[in-house]
Amino acid sequence: MVLLDGRKTSADIKDEIALKVKEFKDSGKKIPHLAAILVGTDGASMTYVSGKVKACELVGFKSTLIELPKETSEEKLLQEIEALNNNDDIDGFIVQLPLPKHIDEQKVLLTVDPDKDVDGFHPTNVGKMALDLPCFLPATPFGILELLERYKVETSGKHVVVIGRSHIVGRPISILMSQKRLAGNATVTLTHSRTKNLKEITLRADIIVAALGKPEFLTGDMVKDGVTIIDVGITRIKDDSKKRGYRIAGDVHFESVAPKSAFITPVPRGVGPMTIAMLLKNTLLACERKQ
């Protein structure tokens, strides 16, 4: 069994990006600048955003964090987004999700300039992704492709089963892995909460992408020997034995699935760090495109 080490791979990617930034600096070019908008004080969102800002510092990007109170009106948030759209120094920006209930997420995503949409959530980028045109790929699926490529996991002609059909993970990864690309050319089955006999389907999978948000859902009896497992799930579970009061669980029951796997991502240190690295990669791309 080989661990698909997201922490190491993401560190390699960040080193590659840092080298590029140094080249930009040395040749007098603009340094990539990523901005993030955070509305409210949700603990997990604050952790994710601060991780993104820290990663920017690490590779030498400029970063701007705009923190807004949870009562912020939709109108005020849209104004902040327009200001970032019109700010030439900002190459890309993200609006951390989820947003408070009184704000229409779709309206917000539609307001982001597609050329600065480094999360790859705008319909223009989603459409281009589906048509295999140059675009910003959503960071988590992009990170999964990168992990599979760098570990040379064979995907061509393989049966990939994706569990979960969210717009940010399940659906895009199912589209991407069915396309003609290095970590692609697969036969993809996209499953979801209405899927019947899921176990029969997962038992026929060569590769499983678990992205449903149910801790330790996929167990050893649901997979065949030699399977490759990508565990996207991140759920905080109360754990008083930990200093911070919780532990992080994936969607895969690692102890029973790992012994049957050829390749498997751990949680944490699997897909999570890759997501941040690919956000940086998209920001670098946005900056390069502008030049």
Binding site for ligand NAD (CB under 6 A): 140, 163-166, 168-170, 191-193, 195, 198, 211-214, 232-235, 271-272, 275
Q: Is 96 a catalytic residue?
A: yes
Nearer to ligand NAD (CB atom), residue 24 or residue 129: 129
Nearer to ligand NAD (CB atom), residue 24 or residue 174: 174
Nearer to ligand NAD (CB atom), residue 108 or residue 234: 234
Residue 97 beta carbon to ligand NAD: minimum distance, rounded to whole angstroms: 9
Q: Is 79 a catalytic residue?
A: no
Nearer to ligand NAD (CB atom), residue 45 or residue 166: 166
Residue 14 beta carbon to ligand NAD: minimum distance, rounded to whole angstroms: 15
Q: Which of 5, 91, 117, 119 is catalytic?
A: 119
Residue 131 beta carbon to ligand NAD: minimum distance, rounded to whole angstroms: 22
Nearer to ligand NAD (CB atom), residue 124 or residue 195: 195
Residue 157 beta carbon to ligand NAD: minimum distance, rounded to whole angstroms: 25
Q: Is 119 a catalytic residue?
A: yes
Residue 247 beta carbon to ligand NAD: minimum distance, rounded to whole angstroms: 14
Read out DSSP for the chain? -EE--HHHHHHHHHHHHHHHHHHHHHTTPPPPEEEEEEES--HHHHHHHHHHHHHHHHHT-EEEEEEE-TT--HHHHHHHHHHHHT-TT--EEEEPSSPPTTS-HHHHHHHS-GGGBTT--SHHHHHHHHTT-S-PPPHHHHHHHHHHHHTT---TT-EEEEE---TTTHHHHHHHHHSSSTT---EEEEE-TT-SSHHHHHTT-SEEEE-S--TT-B-GGGS-TTEEEEE---EEEE-TTSTTSEEEE-SB-HHHHGGGEEEE--SSSSHHHHHHHHHHHHHHHHHHHH-
Q: Which of 14, 52, 116, 281 is catalytic?
A: 52
Q: Which of 5, 14, 91, 96 is catalytic?
A: 96
- Active-site residues, by number, are 52, 96, 119
